[in-house]
Amino acid sequence: MRSSSPLSAPITHRRVLAGLAATVSLILGALTLNPAVAAADDVDLPGGFYDTRTLPTAAPGEVLRAESAALPLAVAVPGLPSLPSPLPAVARRVIYQTADVDGGPVATSGALYDPTAPWHGPGPRPTLVLGPGTQGQGDPCAPSRNIESGLGTNPRTGGPVVSYEEGFALVLAARGFRVMVVDYIGLGTPGIHTYADRVEQAHAMLDGARAAQALTGQQSPVVFWGHSQGGGASAAAAESAPVYAPELDVRAAYASAPPADLLAVLDHIDGSSLTGAIGFAINGMVERYPAVRRVVDRHLNDAGRSALDDLSGLCLADTRIAYGGHTTSGWTTSGRSLGELIRDEPDALRVLDHQRIGSRAPAVPVMLAGGVNDDIIPLGQVEQLGRDWCGQGAPVHLRYETTPLIPGVTHAAAAVTNFEPAVRFIIDRLAGLPAPNDCGSF
């Protein structure tokens, strides 16, 4: 019976809404943690764990460096079941090989949570690769940097950096999943974080699965998981797996609020609490795509250039404080928004089109989730992603998330309200049950 299984403990919408204020804190960087020990002091120094400049090039997914990390004494995620003490996993931070958008080798980082809890689900214990939601663009924002306490500080601002995804990883580990949390390319390691880049996030996820299996010595079933930025990473990994990592035994993917169409998302969040994320995306594209760099060079004013430079080192909490409610029209010489300018720049528009998720069908069932009232990720482009995949014959289950509109809360709450339905979806796919297919109904 589902009601008695530790893999699918019940959660109610009412229960989540009752703790909505706590959920805001969660996503803005406020996990309830009891710090154990601080992370290593030398992570930013030459020769530190995250200094990848002297590491040799290896095959994609190969582990280049790993070290054990002590977990916090306690973790609580508002709206989800409490965790036992001691926590049900052992953790390691990892540097592994992946590839950039052009196929060039690049080292990236992540954290592996190997459960001590038993696996009660069907078949062998699976590896769940978790793509984090927006963390920021500065290296201190990387989730793997704050394993020991879940709470760090951005030296640039003195602001808090809370690894809210660690709570989700540990709840999943308590259910018996082996969890690999990726940092993404350039987040924590040298180079700019290429925020929301479809190809590079897919590579980081797929090579994260390879690295987790190399560390454990087990070729396990693989599932992808993510909300918001992580939803985009999960979706991109699912559709890229057959070509980039055909040897992986991928069974399912869950993609909640994926930014599948970056131009639509740009329009939606311009002026919101997450306007700064536009700067994250532009910074990454300037690094990889000359066409975007030319647009920035021609159209940004001094305030815009200063904002992009500032955002390159910020984490989520500081970003919301510094840029929440601002609009990108204040960054341009013409006073037009970046979305309007990009539409008039064919070369830059092609880059945005290249970033769209949905051009290839996943080979496994996918659960999409979209918020009817989401103030960050527009529902229409989530539905369009589902239609794109359905048109190519892929089975898609679409869950509509209906938390009422509360600015700064609604998008965050979906990470909790979608949690149990996503766990059930994945367990059923691991059991080989037919996937629900909502194609034609949205």
Q: What is the pLDDT of residue 407?
A: 84
Instruction: Write out the CATH class of domain 263-353.
Output: mainly alpha
Residue 77 binned pLDDT confidence (cut-offs 50, 70, 90): confident
In this predicted structure, the answer to whether residue 22 has a pLDDT above a threshold of 70 is: no
Concatenating the DSSP letter of every residue in 236-286 gives HHHHHHHHH-TTS-EEEEEEES---SHHHHHHHHTTSTTTHHHHHHHHHHH
**What is the predicted pLDDT for the residue at 46?**
66
Nearest to 9 by CA among 248, 155, 176: 176
Residue ranges of the chain assigned to CATH 3.40.50.1820: 2-261+365-430
The class level of CATH for 2-261+365-430 reads alpha beta
**Gap between the Cα atoms of 383 and 372, Å rounded:** 11
**Can you give the pTM of this predicted structure?**
0.92
Note the helical H segments in 270-404: 276-288, 290-299, 302-311, 316-323, 338-343, 346-354, 379-390
What would the pLDDT profile of 362-421 be if each residue is shown by its tens digit? 999 999 999 999 999 999 999 999 999 999 999 999 999 999 999 888 999 999 999 999
How does residue 78 score in pLDDT terms, banded at 50, 70 and 90?
A: confident
Q: Regarding predicted confidence, which is higher, 207 or 7? A: 207
> Where does the chain hold its CATH 1.10.260.130 domain(s)?
263-353
Structure tokens at 61: 């997914």
